[in-house]
Amino acid sequence: MNRGYFAKWLIENKQLFLIDFNGENALVKITYRLIDIFPESGEKVFAYWFTGELTIPMGKRVDYFHGGSGPSFEYSTRLYIRDGLVIDSGVFTM
């Protein structure tokens, strides 16, 4: 699914950072970059606004279903984040 943007993230010292962003507003043909949204940020932006879970697939791909769920991997790491800080994590097998 194309949401009209691409973002790159970094976990460093148990903090979540946005390190790259490229998005489009197709109605007015404008492209937005990280510096356009956060002009004072420098190279990375602490993602204080994010609270939720992130699942990172890891290991070898073991299955692929083209019906919308995508590939399955040997295991995944799940990060639990509150206000941009990693508060817990776990490893899960598929």
Cα–Cα distance for residue pair 72/66, rounded to 1 Å: 11
Query: One digit per residue, pLDDT tens: the chain, 94 residues?
Result: 456 788 999 999 999 999 999 888 777 778 888 988 899 888 899 999 999 999 888 888 777 666 656 678 888 899 999 999 999 999 887 6
Question: What pLDDT score was predicted for residue 94?
Answer: 62
Question: What pLDDT score was predicted for residue 64?
Answer: 64
Give domain limits for the chain: 1-47, 48-94
Enter the tokens of residue 33: 């970059």
Instruction: Calculate the alpha carbon distances from 7 to 23, 33, 57, 63, 87 in Å.
Output: 8, 10, 17, 26, 22
